[in-house]
Structure 1
Amino acid sequence: MTLTNIEKHHLLPRGMYFQKKSYEDVPLLSFEEARSSLPQPIYEQRPDYLECYWKAWEIAYRNLHVPTNESGFVSNFIDAAFNQDVFLWDTVFITMFCNLANPYIPGIRSLDNFYCKQFEDGEIPREMVRETGKDFLPWVNYDRLPLHSYFHNHYGHRRLFQTARPAFEEMFQPKLGRTVEVPPYLTLDNLNHPIMAWAELESYKHTGDAARLELVYEPNLRYYDALQYHLQNHYGLYVTDWASMDNNPRNKYLGSGVDISCEMVLLARNLIDIAKVLIDRCQSRGDKEKAAHYASQINRLDEEASQLTDTINRMMWNDKVGFYFDVQETGEQAPVKTIAAYWSLLAGVATKEQAEKLASWLNDPATFNRVHRVPVCSADEEGYDPRGGYWRGSVWAPTNTMVIRGLEKYGYKDLAKEIALNHLNNVVQIFKDTGTIWENYPPDAVDSGNADKADFVGWSGIAPILYLIEHAIGIKGDARSNELTWQLTPGQGTVGCNRYWFAGKTLNLLAKPQDDGAYRIFASSDAPLTLKVKLINNEVIHEINGDCEFIIEAVRYS
């Protein structure tokens, strides 16, 4: 019997670089079962924060899955609940609030099901059918044509499912300007946002699970190599199509994407950071050969990341405007300002001066500083939709999180917090008005705009869960240094968090305001750690193991 190309595709070997080969996991908990173990935030002045927080967890627990036998998935997972498929881009951001409840929900382990579907050349699909584990068929290059995008410039919002596959001549084929002898297994639609290693490091900072880094290093390295082979063009940049920004005004100009190009720098730098952790593990167990192997990869990755950084700054930075732009196939910069430029901060591509200019755009009411921050398209661009319009102007939790982490990297912590709290406050207000959490939000009004997906947790759980604890209450643990930092805000009243979990430790934390502006801190931990409490210009550090009580004064310096 002769097999079709589609049937041959489904029989290809997969997951050879990921050592978990079969399903293994702990039983899933229901929300009712897990609630008494989840972090319990305290914010006496804002009961609406707490109501939205618990609602977000309740919705998230509806979206937990044990994989079917047919799927070949190897771990329980949380899903975006967007449709019947699982998405790499969505899953990465879902892990970031799930890290806070790591032992009680399959957050970071959800990425296992992408690693176990990796092709021999390193490609990883960004969308798969949840029940079968098969690749989303329209984005499979089953005829092994040269790299192309199936939906490029035809991907209007709500027009995904077409009845017939167009002829190859009608598809978008990027001009790489270099010879690629072996075509990819997937289309360009299915090869974007290489950010799993970033998610792994975010998880590691909270959990301290270095063994997981060892498990995921090789799949991420192979993924990096695959994208470098298939997507790098003659400019030294990386091609993309709509890059998950489905109907953004930028799409008709792509080209080389500032997001995918910066994300490749980010992936290289993330791999370097992971390799350094693994070198320490190898040295501690006397494995000098493996440590030397990681060290050699660091040298290669560092050289490539530096070269790509130089190319991005030469071709994508516009010094006159003070912004990063996509690059068209001609080599000219695209004329649309979008949030994609801010991947340059997270990746460490921008200089200090460039970062300052990017930060200034975030404070500009005519562009990105709207009523609800931060829109994915600048408000002064043609095609911007003040009611959201999906990726024409909406505010999305994942892109906000990217912006916030990038700002923090460059020291703009106050601006990062301001954006996080703006998003949190608007999400909570709209929750109070509508009773639900939405996939995205309009930039120019505090309502649900023209979004149509409610109960979306999904990545929209980031604001009511992660931003509440990390930015509003101010608590963030760092497993690498065994430190917990608590940044208090004057006038916020009694705040804290019971059952705060990080690095295998569980803490109860409470801050009560005093008449003179100071706070009395009550803290307990079931294992040793360093607690740093900050208030205005004052910082108090305590080594705690068990119960601890102290005062932090509201010190001010002129």
Structure 2
Amino acid sequence: MSMFARYASQQFPVEGTLDNCYQILHEQQPSAINIQHPDNPPLFAWVEWQLYQITGNKERLHKLILDKAWLQKHYRFIENSRRWSVVRGANVRMSIHKENYGYLWHGTPSGMDNTPRGRNRYHDIYWLDLLAMQVLSAQYISRMAKELSEDQLAAEYKILAEEGTELLNRYYWDDEDGLYYDISRKNPRQQCKVKTPASFWPMLAGACRSDQALKMASHLESDGIFGGRFPWPSVSRDDPDYHASGHYWKGGIWLPLAYMGTQALKQYGFHDIADTTAERLLNNMYQTWQQFEPHSIWEAYAPEAHRPATTEHPRKEQLVRPDFCGWSALGPINMLIESVLGFENISAPERTIHWRIYQQCRHGLNNLSFGDTVTSLLYTHKPAPEISVTSNKPYTLKVFYRGEQRDFKITRGFQHIRLSENESNRVNRLP
């Protein structure tokens, strides 16, 4: 929720919501709210960096990394967890347990409740995604520390990220299949070959080499695995446990994993695949909204029809929950802005917007806020391609258009940018 609410952080209390979690887990502060699963996926560092890109609030980085050290505490909280230990302020005991080759975990706290990973023997496998998430956390803690000129802390967490990356690639990567798999607790050299989008967490964490990333991206071009008209099913379509109606995590399309995978693809330059699958997924959500009653945003979506997914109870054929923006709003907000409209990177600290224009139609954003800047951008292609921009503050607009990058210095006020091939890249400014 923080990922899409950050686009309206002045309206939604994103920072305070995250602080609630830190204060309960790491300050043991009494609270009127409880945390359900304290060992939910440890994504705070990734989320906080994305929030920082929009707000530019460096004081918050100082609080997170130096004053409170909440992100380091959460990293160690996962590292030092012991199975079934009690956490004050949480409703459920911990299920994470770290051993030499990885982490034990469970379907429900991982978010993938009835996933066929491990074939229902969850405690017999080391979960690849939790290891990758810890690498991801270490990467972003290191990046935040560097932003604060804390070089020693940055180096410490960079080493931790490198150690996790080495473990992932030594034991969890299968070069023939081109995927990361969970591994057996009894024999870490044995992989548990269930293909799920969880395999893309190492890619998001930057653990892949370019040749590994290329193999992983190819699975989004295969109808029988994660591609097709309804991309990102929660288990590969060639898996024996796959269900065409979804059955929760046995085929259902879940926006958190789809968004993560899309971001992972972009990180390695697979923009076309990321954009194509994002558009197909959003079309599925839109067609479901139109065709299926009640007209709603759903908890998860079916992998072969414009309809919501079914729950994990195969005999009852019940539908997942409607009115569920909780995480499904990642589609019509984040994936629309970042993949369909092409605003791939908005950075308040650097005062830049990266806009990859590939849609040949009128499109843009009004009243985009980042830091102290509010700007509106509109691309039109008739009679000639150009961008209209208004802004209350100066910034740099980096436009990726027809295979080229062009940088434009945006000033306060209104301006036209001509993109025609036979025109110079001049900016016409109006008062």
Q: TM bucket by the smaller chain?
A: 0.7 to 0.9
Question: Could you tell me how far apart the structure 1 residues matched to 2:198 and 2:297 are?
Answer: 24
Deviation at 1:310, TM superposition (A): 1.1
Deviation at 1:554, TM superposition (A): 5.6
Question: Could you tell me how far apart the structure 1 residues matched to 2:338 and 2:174 are?
Answer: 34
Kindly tell me: are residues 103 and 385 of structure 1, through their superposed partners in 2, closer, same or farther at Cα, counting changes over 3 Å? same
Question: Could you tell me how far apart the structure 1 residues matched to 2:26 and 2:349 are?
Answer: 32
Correspondence for 1:214: 62
Correspondence for 1:236: 101
Structure 1: unaligned runs, 5 residues or longer: 1-93, 137-188, 280-293
Question: Counterpart amino acid of 1:486?
Answer: W
Of 192, 196, 205, the match for 2:53: 205
Question: Counterpart amino acid of 1:246?
Answer: D
Of 193, 204, 208, the match for 1:335: 193
SS at match of 1:392: coil
Asked if 1:346 is matched to 2:204, the reply is yes
SS at match of 1:238: strand
Kindly tell me: are residues 351 and 533 of structure 1, through their superposed partners in 2, closer, same or farther at Cα, counting changes over 3 Å? closer
Kindly tell me: are residues 109 and 414 of structure 1, through their superposed partners in 2, closer, same or farther at Cα, counting changes over 3 Å? farther
CA contact (8 A) 2:243 2:250 kept: yes
Asked if 1:507 is matched to 2:375, the reply is yes
Correspondence for 1:300: 156
Question: Could you tell me how far apart the structure 2 residues matched to 1:534 and 1:302 are?
Answer: 31
Deviation at 1:370, TM superposition (A): 3.3
Correspondence for 1:193: 41
Deviation at 1:119, TM superposition (A): 3.9
Deviation at 1:537, TM superposition (A): 2.6
CA deviations 1:339-364 (Å, max 9, x no partner) are 11100101111111111111111211
Kindly tell me: are residues 206 and 338 of structure 1, through their superposed partners in 2, closer, same or farther at Cα, counting changes over 3 Å? same
Correspondence for 2:142: 272
CA contact (8 A) 2:142 2:156 kept: no
Asked if 1:441 is matched to 2:301, the reply is yes
Asked if 1:455 is matched to 2:323, the reply is yes
CA deviations 1:299-335 (Å, max 9, x no partner) are 3222222122111111111222221111121122112
Question: Could you tell me how far apart the structure 1 residues matched to 2:154 and 2:398 are?
Answer: 33
Question: Could you tell me how far apart the structure 2 residues matched to 1:192 and 1:457 are?
Answer: 19
CA deviations 1:164-183 (Å, max 9, x no partner) are xxxxxxxxxxxxxxxxxxxx
Question: Could you tell me how far apart the structure 2 residues matched to 1:529 and 1:197 are?
Answer: 26
Moved over 4 A (4+): none
Question: Could you tell me how far apart the structure 2 residues matched to 1:347 and 1:135 are?
Answer: 26
Question: Counterpart amino acid of 1:97?
Answer: F
Deviation at 1:459, TM superposition (A): 1.0
Question: Counterpart amino acid of 1:274?
Answer: M
Question: Could you tell me how far apart the structure 2 residues matched to 1:486 and 1:315 are?
Answer: 38
Correspondence for 1:256: 126
Question: Counterpart amino acid of 2:80?
Answer: Y
Correspondence for 2:426: none
Of 478, 484, 491, the match for 2:347: 478
Question: Counterpart amino acid of 1:265?
Answer: V
Kindly tell me: are residues 232 and 427 of structure 1, through their superposed partners in 2, closer, same or farther at Cα, counting changes over 3 Å? same
Instruction: Report the identity percentage.
Output: 29
Question: Could you tell me how far apart the structure 2 residues matched to 1:539 and 1:553 are?
Answer: 14
Question: Could you tell me how far apart the structure 2 residues matched to 1:440 and 1:378 are?
Answer: 16
**Bigger Cα displacement from structure 2, 449-458 vs 241-250:** 449-458
Question: Could you tell me how far apart the structure 2 residues matched to 1:491 and 1:296 are?
Answer: 47
Question: Counterpart amino acid of 1:311?
Answer: L
Question: Could you tell me how far apart the structure 2 residues matched to 1:529 and 1:510 are?
Answer: 16
Kindly tell me: are residues 386 and 266 of structure 1, through their superposed partners in 2, closer, same or farther at Cα, counting changes over 3 Å? same
Whose radius of gyration is greater, 1 or 2? 1
Asked if 1:530 is matched to 2:387, the reply is no
Deviation at 1:540, TM superposition (A): 3.7
CA contact (8 A) 2:26 2:70 kept: no
Given the two structures, how large is their TM-score scaled by the length of structure 1? Answer: 0.66
Asked if 1:394 is matched to 2:294, the reply is no
CA contact (8 A) 2:101 2:126 kept: no
Of 311, 314, 328, the match for 2:170: 314
Correspondence for 2:11: 104
Correspondence for 1:383: 241
Structure 2: unaligned runs, 5 residues or longer: 82-95, 311-318, 423-431
Kindly tell me: are residues 197 and 438 of structure 1, through their superposed partners in 2, closer, same or farther at Cα, counting changes over 3 Å? same
Deviation at 1:295, TM superposition (A): 2.6
Q: Which has the higher contact order (CA 8 A, sep 6+)?
A: 1
SS at match of 2:263: helix
Aligned residue pairs, count: 386
CA contact (8 A) 2:25 2:38 kept: no
Correspondence for 2:386: 520
SS at match of 1:264: helix
SS at match of 1:371: coil
Question: Counterpart amino acid of 1:453?
Answer: R
Question: Could you tell me how far apart the structure 2 residues matched to 1:508 and 1:308 are?
Answer: 41
Deviation at 1:530, TM superposition (A): 0.9
Question: Could you tell me how far apart the structure 2 residues matched to 1:509 and 1:276 are?
Answer: 32
Question: Counterpart amino acid of 2:78?
Answer: L
Of 4, 9, 34, the match for 1:134: 34
SS at match of 2:329: helix
SS at match of 2:191: coil
CA contact (8 A) 1:495 1:511 kept: yes
Asked if 1:372 is matched to 2:230, the reply is yes
Deviation at 1:197, TM superposition (A): 0.6
SS at match of 1:269: helix
Question: Could you tell me how far apart the structure 2 residues matched to 1:308 and 1:538 are?
Answer: 36
CA contact (8 A) 1:540 1:552 kept: no
Deviation at 1:135, TM superposition (A): 4.3
Question: Counterpart amino acid of 2:114?
Answer: N
Question: Counterpart amino acid of 1:511?
Answer: Y
Deviation at 1:532, TM superposition (A): 2.5
Question: Could you tell me how far apart the structure 2 residues matched to 1:301 and 1:232 are?
Answer: 21
Deviation at 1:263, TM superposition (A): 0.6
**Bigger Cα displacement from structure 2, 229-238 vs 404-413:** 229-238
CA contact (8 A) 1:535 1:554 kept: no
Correspondence for 1:289: none
CA contact (8 A) 2:244 2:304 kept: yes
Kindly tell me: are residues 511 and 442 of structure 1, through their superposed partners in 2, closer, same or farther at Cα, counting changes over 3 Å? same
CA contact (8 A) 1:368 1:379 kept: yes
**Bigger Cα displacement from structure 2, 321-330 vs 101-110:** 101-110
Asked if 1:225 is matched to 2:76, the reply is yes
Deviation at 1:236, TM superposition (A): 3.4
Of 412, 418, 422, the match for 2:270: 412
RMSD of aligned alpha carbons: 2.1
Deviation at 1:485, TM superposition (A): 2.3
